[in-house]
A and B are shown apart, each in its own frame.
Chain A
Amino acid sequence: MYLSSSRSQDTATGIGRTGPRTGAAITGNVIALGLVSLVTDISSEMVTAVMPVYLVAGLGLSILQFGFLDGLYSGVTVFLRLAGGHIADRFAARKTVAATGYGLSAVSKLGFPAVGASVPGIGTLLAVDRAGKGLRTAPRDALISLSSTPEAQGRAFGVHRALDTVGAFTGPLIAFMILSAVATAYDAVFVVSFCVGMVGLLMMVLFVRDRPTPAGESARTAASWRAGARLLRDAPFRRLCLCAALLGVATVSDAFVYLVLQRKLDIAAHWFPLLPLGTTGTYLLLAIPAGRLADRWGRRRMFLAGHAALGGVYMLLAGPFDGLALLVPTLMLHGVFYAMTDGVLMAAAGAGLPPALRTSGLAVLQTGQAAGRFVSSVAFGAAWTRWGPERAVVWSGAALACAVAVSLVVMGGARLRGR
């Protein structure tokens, strides 16, 4: 099934090249990258799904001291993301850097059975997995961007995110099916996750093609650190980064959205892991239409408008609704928010960045957004413990309204339509 669809997509590439006006054919490279992400997401979601039970079974009460390692890893990921973006541009090696990232994550899965219940061992492996994710995201998005015409950026990212989300959807299901078959043989989940991760890596290595460096252009010079830093002198890009970070600060993390829902609805514990599927399902269905619409309507405008959906989520969470009248629209709007913003942001930045610096640019943008969201998590966590979930949501809504207002001014009404 994979092969036939990929081949037909590949032949469609020719049409895409010759007819950029109608737009918008999706190259085989984007499909291949989407499938790589799909498979890799299955691999990592499997591990994410079993990790809590695995840690409890292996470590007992000593895991209560485990959480604080998290902040450290976030710092490592930020550094690797920026460094990976720079290296990928400098040596025109987007594919190699991304493949290294996919490889690191795949190999880390095999380490879990090997280290057993060692806390430093598990910590190291989690760090390696995250390092892999940090390394690969920017070069992968740069490849998607470079594999598409400027007019079709939104659609290309939409297709990629839709495939990616299929992986996020199926990964936990596969993990739970394996676990129900093997009971406590967690190593089976890790080994299968490794195998699936290797399939993703192989698809990357075999089928994805990097953008060749055009004659007369030296990537090494074009992509110096200084050139990377100069990107931020480009006013539209700088504004986009600023807005992404600002809006990130006002974006409550998924985990908190589900926790507030669980508290309001008193959802039984065993249903809790299914809540993210509501968001993911909506995102999956809307990623491509949202991308296409963004191409036509303006990607920045779409990105900003998507935050209205997030505002809707906050209003529902803070409002008087209960039961399905709360659950269904909240998860759907949450999915709409992702469809309108996640890939769309990359598409908005992609076409405006010089190809030789596209990875660095996207890495900077993603880092800004991630930093914003980290601040949001810490702040929301503090607000929750201090004032309770309802007021924390109200404050987030106020922060979001401010962030959107500032973004409107910063990006400027007329500019929103551009690129």
Chain B
Amino acid sequence: MAVDTEPGEHPDETEDTGDIAERPEPAGPVEPEPVAAVFTRGRVIAFVVALVVLAGVGVGYTLHAVKREDDKRYGGSGTAPGAAPLTLAGPRRLLFRSTESGPGYGHLATVAAADPGGARQVGDRTCDRVYAANGTALCLTVERGVIARNYALILDGTLHEVRRIELSGTPNRARLSASGRMASWTVFVYGDSYAASSFSTRTSILDTRTGDLVESLEDFAVTRDGKDVRTPDRNFWGVTFAADDNTFYATMSTANPTRTYLVRGDLKARSAVVLRDNVECPSLSPDGTRLVFKKKVSDDPRKPWRLNVLDLASGQETPLAETRSVDDQAIWLDDAAVAYDLPTGSGAGSDVWSVPADGGGAPTRLIAGAFSPAPLR
């Protein structure tokens, strides 16, 4: 484009290949005449024409992108938010964020646990990630605007907001204890380090009964084999709570060396111990005996993880039948099966899949057009 519109030559820019100057000019005020710019009529016209073309391309593409995104999300014939309000009470269901293209995109929705492929009920509230337990929901949401603001919302059984906490980064993981009392979330924080394009995570735990907030698990004392882990560049993500509302499991990573660990934390004591290597996004089974987690199995950034189940008593790991790489904190549908989301492949959509927790069977698609599932028991 630049070449086409450049008229004329640079008569001044001929290179002199003639005689040889033996040494560089001496430093000092031997200064040739300063150089002026070229503002010829032809060039100005060429520039204005190019400016108009480029402005047209920029504006046109932006309008196209807006329409494309709108169509992708809202253009389909997916279920619309219904007249009846969505609640957490009632028969066994699955709660999720609907990613079905249509008027309900991004809204919370439920399907019957017995018939997850059946009709969905879509509510009014929108969340980017959600979890629910025992009549309480945790909703991580991004309020877009000139500056995007991120919030964690605690919702009651009718999905009304009871508490709002501003987040310091982009939402990533959300989990509640089975009683619904303890809430935890993980966000991405950008630029916490000296290398300009570095990311870190920050994981918080909120006691919804007392309002006590642990802003970052990085403040907890962590021991490994009885010794303090002093590495300051620790990151935590993916908390899952035990039934006592005090014990939790989470991922801890260290940058040097680049490792991930499973830690078991004690909220009251503000401490944690390292249990083993290479465990990310653990999720505790309802009976409290096993963790489903993602294990790093490859350095290929397109498919680094494989879902595994860890038996806490024996320490035995069992790879699950899902061979695709899952970047999610899986949930337990019951003591025999787990569920997780995977991108649909194209568009803004994702599907919720399920696989048996014993390593057998095969993955099945549970809900099409759904993200961030949570069982309503």
CA distance A103 to B58 in the complex (A): 17
B195 within 8 A of A: yes
Given contacts A118-B302, A270-B147, contact A29 B39 (CB under 8 A): no
Nearest B-chain residue to A95, judged by Cβ: B13
- Count chain A CB atoms within 10 A of each CB in B14, B16, B20 and give the residue with the most: B16
A293 within 8 A of B: no
Instruction: Determine if B39 and A7 form an interchain contact, defined as CB atoms under 8 angstroms apart.
Output: yes
Instruction: Determine if A176 and B199 form an interchain contact, defined as CB atoms under 8 angstroms apart.
Output: no
Instruction: Determine if B172 and A70 form an interchain contact, defined as CB atoms under 8 angstroms apart.
Output: no
Instruction: Determine if A255 and B191 form an interchain contact, defined as CB atoms under 8 angstroms apart.
Output: yes
- CB contacts (< 8 Å) of A92 on chain B: these are 15
CA distance A199 to B52 in the complex (A): 10
- Count chain A CB atoms within 10 A of each CB in B39, B54, B190, B302 and give the residue with the most: B39
Q: A277: shortest Cβ distance to chain B, in Å?
A: 12
Interface string of A64-79 (1 = CB under 8 A from B): 1111111100000000
Interface string of B43-63 (1 = CB under 8 A from A): 110111011001101100110
Instruction: Determine if A56 and B26 form an interchain contact, defined as CB atoms under 8 angstroms apart.
Output: no
A182 within 8 A of B: yes
CA distance A3 to B44 in the complex (A): 8
Instruction: Determine if B65 and A70 form an interchain contact, defined as CB atoms under 8 angstroms apart.
Output: no
Nearest B-chain residue to A57, judged by Cβ: B170
CA distance A259 to B191 in the complex (A): 9
Given contacts A182-B62, A205-B6, contact A213 B15 (CB under 8 A): yes
Given contacts A199-B51, A270-B148, contact A217 B34 (CB under 8 A): no
B304 within 8 A of A: yes
Nearest B-chain residue to A224, judged by Cβ: B24
Please tell me which one of the listed residues B24, B33, B150 contacts residue A354 in the complex, with CB atoms under 8 A apart. Answer: B24
Instruction: Determine if B146 and A216 form an interchain contact, defined as CB atoms under 8 angstroms apart.
Output: no
- CB contacts (< 8 Å) of A417 on chain B: these are none
CA distance A196 to B139 in the complex (A): 38
The A contact surface, by secondary structure, is: helix
CA distance A234 to B62 in the complex (A): 53
Instruction: Determine if B68 and A202 form an interchain contact, defined as CB atoms under 8 angstroms apart.
Output: no
Instruction: Determine if B39 and A10 form an interchain contact, defined as CB atoms under 8 angstroms apart.
Output: yes
- CB contacts (< 8 Å) of A356 on chain B: these are 24-25
CA distance A59 to B18 in the complex (A): 56
CA distance A67 to B55 in the complex (A): 34
Nearest A-chain residue to B171, judged by Cβ: A56
Nearest B-chain residue to A379, judged by Cβ: B194
Instruction: Determine if A182 and B15 form an interchain contact, defined as CB atoms under 8 angstroms apart.
Output: no
CA distance A272 to B196 in the complex (A): 15
B28 within 8 A of A: yes
B31 within 8 A of A: yes
Please tell me which one of the listed residues A31, A182, A222, A273 contacts residue B25 in the complex, with CB atoms under 8 A apart. Answer: A222
Q: A387: shortest Cβ distance to chain B, in Å?
A: 10
Instruction: Determine if B15 and A66 form an interchain contact, defined as CB atoms under 8 angstroms apart.
Output: no
Please tell me which one of the listed residues A51, A56, A179, A203 contacts residue B47 in the complex, with CB atoms under 8 A apart. Answer: A203
B311 within 8 A of A: no
**Stretch in B153-161, B230-238, B241-249 touching the partner:** B230-238
Given contacts A56-B188, A185-B68, contact A351 B31 (CB under 8 A): yes
B268 within 8 A of A: no
Q: B293: shortest Cβ distance to chain A, in Å?
A: 12
- CB contacts (< 8 Å) of B169 on chain A: these are 269
On B, residues with C-beta under 8 Å from A are 1-2, 5-6, 10, 12-39, 43-44, 46-48, 50-51, 54-55, 57-58, 61-62, 65-66, 68-69, 144-150, 166-170, 172, 188, 190-201, 232-233, 235, 237, 253, 255, 258, 280-281, 301-302, 304, 327, 348
